[in-house]
A = this chain, B = another copy of it.
């Protein structure tokens, strides 16, 4: 196999490739979704709970508002998720002294331990195989993923206001 893919590019039809990449994208989504479920079962936590725990552990501590923003859920939901984690002894709540409105959520030793000992199988599988790839292919994948991410995020920004308008005319 060679580094440059341009030759292979000529083979497939031009229009197919959009479809092909969308299909590939969906396969990736599907795989990660399945992964999330098995991970959830393995740790005894649900996926949203695990996400919150990861956010908190990554930052060292976080307010419910931080969590809500980073996890992409409402504040009420964030509170509910923190409740569950706190009940399981994986995080603690501490009221701030400087601003008594804010609550710091921090992982307990047990919470950190759980993240360490229950590593994401997605990450594991991916990492293991990714690191076996030749250098050029790693670089290609990084570039492609970032490209796709940028494209999708650009779309999300454009689409938001547009959708609000169109949301009414149905039903």
Give the B-binding residues of A (Cβ under 8 A).
3-6, 8-10, 12, 14, 17-35, 38-39, 41-44, 72, 114, 117, 119, 121-127, 129-131, 133, 135-149, 151-156, 158-160, 162-163, 165-171
Contact = CB atoms under 8 A, between A and B. Distances in A.
Contact of A131 (B18, B29, B155): B18
A141 B21 contact: yes
Contact of A114 (B121, B137, B158, B170): B170
A166 B6 contact: no
B131 A27 contact: no
13 contacts: A3-B4, A9-B135, A9-B136, A18-B130, A18-B131, A24-B142, A25-B32, A27-B149, A28-B148, A30-B162, A38-B156, A124-B159, A144-B144
